[in-house]
Amino acid sequence: MGEVYLAEDTKLNRKVALKFLPVDAAPNRERTHRFLQEARAAAKLHHGNIAHIYEIGEANGKTFIVMEYVEGQTLDDRINSVATTYLDEILRIGIETADALEEAHNAGITHRDIKPSNIMITERGQVKVFDFGLAKLTATGFEQTGAELPTQIKTSPGVLLGTVQYMSPEQALGREVDHRTDIFSLGLVLYEMATGKRPFTGVTATETIDRILHAQPEAMGRLNPTVPAELERIIRKCLEKDRECRYQSALELLTDLRNLRRDGSQPSVITERSGRETLIRPHYIYVLLALVLLSVLGGAGYFVTRNKAIDSVAVLPFTNESADPNLEYLSEGITENLINRLSQVPELRVVPRSTVFRYKGPNVDPLASARALGVRTVVVGKVAQRGETLSIQTELLDVTNESQLWGEQYNRRVTDLLTIQDDIARGKVLKPISSI
C-alpha cells in the first residue's frame, strides 16, 4: 500500500525511501490508520534484518514515512532470476527472516504479510524485512480499530488483509490472527525457495484459499529430490493448518534452522528453474557432482592450504563436450559449487561467478584468462558422455610457471552412480570436503 520514492536526506547526506499514502486513499480513515500504523509499528523495532523507519511527516496534505533505503533485490526477484538455490542460502535467508520475526513478535507485532516481495536481499546478502503496513499489534502494543479484519480480495463481511498465496488458514478465514500466522507464511516462502513452486495455487483467489484450507502441499522430495528430510520436516511443521501444531514461536523455528545449518553433512539443495517451474535433472547429475566436488576440492584444497604462495584462484566454467543439455547444467553446477566451496577457504581470493562466466567456451585460454583475472591459480575441467559412461577431467594450474599442480579424471557408468545415491544424500561422501 502506498507509493515509494527514492529520495535524499540532505541533512545527513544519505539515500532514503519515501512512502506516500495514495491521494485517493486520503479520505479513507481506515487506510490512513493502517498507513500510520506501519510507521508506528516498525519504528518500535531495532534489528539488523528489519528495514528502519526514520520519521513520519506530512507535506501539501500528503502523509509520508521516511524509511531506510536498501540496495539489492527482493527475494521474489531472486527466486525468479537465479538458476540454482543452495541449501545454505535457503537456511541463511530463513534464519535471518525468522530472527527478524522473533524481534517483532517479542514487541507484540505480527507482520501478517510475509512474502518474497516483502523480503529484500542486500548487495551483501543480508535480509531486510519490509512493509509492516499490515502489522497487527497485540495488547503489548497499541489498539487497532475493530473495523480492521484480518488482502486484497473482498469478502463478506469485511476485507482480508494480506496476499492470498501467502496467507495462513486462519487469516484466509478472516479470523483473529497472532504471531503464528507469520510462521505459516514463512514456511510458504521456504517451500518456494527449496522447490521453485508455491505450495498452494489456484486459478482464482477463492480456489487458492480453498487449497490453503483443505489441501496438503505436494511432497517436496517429488519436486526436488535433493531437499534434506530435516528441512522438509521443518517446513511441514510451519505449514500445519492447525496453528496449535505449528512452531509456537519464531524462536523455535529459528533454533531448528540453525541446527540444520550447523550440520555440515547435509548436501546442497540445487533447484533448476524455468520461470516458476522446477525442472528436476536426472539423479546421476547430483551424484556425479558430489563426486567431482570431492575430487576437485580434495586436490585444490590440498594445494591451497599447503602452499602459502597460493592466495588466489579462478574456477573457469567447465566445458561440455557432449550435445546433451543435461551436461550443460552439470558443467555450470560444478563451476558454481567449486566457487562457493573454495570461497570458504580462509585467506583465499576466489573470483566470483559473474566474472568467470565471461570466460566460458571451448576455445578459452585458461592461463591467459587467469592472468587477465589476476589470480595465481586456475581450475579448469571438461565434461563428456560416451554411451553409458560419464567422464569428467579436472586440473589445477599454476599461472606463474604454467605448470599443473594437480589433475584427476573420473569415468563412471550412470548405473553405477545410482547405487551410491543414498550415501550422497546422507552426506557420507561430502563429509571429507568440510576438512579443507
Q: Which amino acid appears at position 92 of this protein? A: R
Q: Locate 162 and state its grid cell.
A: 494480506
- Decide if 301 contacts 436 (C-beta within 8 A): yes
Give pLDDT, residue 143: 40
119-171 per-position pLDDT tens digit: 999 888 899 998 776 666 654 454 443 333 333 443 333 345 557 889 999 99
CATH of domain 72-274: 1.10.510.10
**Cβ-based neighbour number of residue 187 at 10 Å:** 26
**Cβ-based neighbour number of residue 250 at 10 Å:** 23
282-435 fold: Rossmann fold (3.40.50)
DSSP state of 154: B
Mean pLDDT for each 10-residue chunk of the chain (436 residues)?
A: 76 83 62 72 84 82 82 87 75 95 91 92 89 62 38 40 83 91 96 91 87 90 83 94 95 94 57 41 42 50 53 86 68 74 74 84 87 89 76 83 79 50 35 34
Sign of torsion over alpha carbons 284, 315, 400, 297? negative
Dist CA 255 CA 268 (whole Å):
20
Active site residues per annotation = 123
Dist CA 386 CA 376 (whole Å):
34
- Decide if 4 contacts 17 (C-beta within 8 A): yes
Give pLDDT, residue 329: 63
The CATH superfamily assigned to 3-68 is Phosphorylase Kinase; domain 1 (3.30.200.20)
251-300 per-position pLDDT tens digit: 999 999 999 888 754 444 445 444 433 333 333 444 444 445 545 555 55
Give pLDDT, residue 414: 52
Phi, psi of 278 (to 5 degrees): -95, 125
401-412 per-position pLDDT tens digit: 888 887 777 676
Q: Domain ranges for the chain, please list them.
A: 3-68, 72-274, 282-435
Give pLDDT, residue 221: 81
The 8 Å CB, 24+ separation contacts for 247-250 are 247/180, 247/183, 248/180, 249/102, 249/105, 249/179, 250/98, 250/99, 250/101, 250/102, 250/105, 250/179, 250/182, 250/183
**Cβ-based neighbour number of residue 215 at 10 Å:** 13
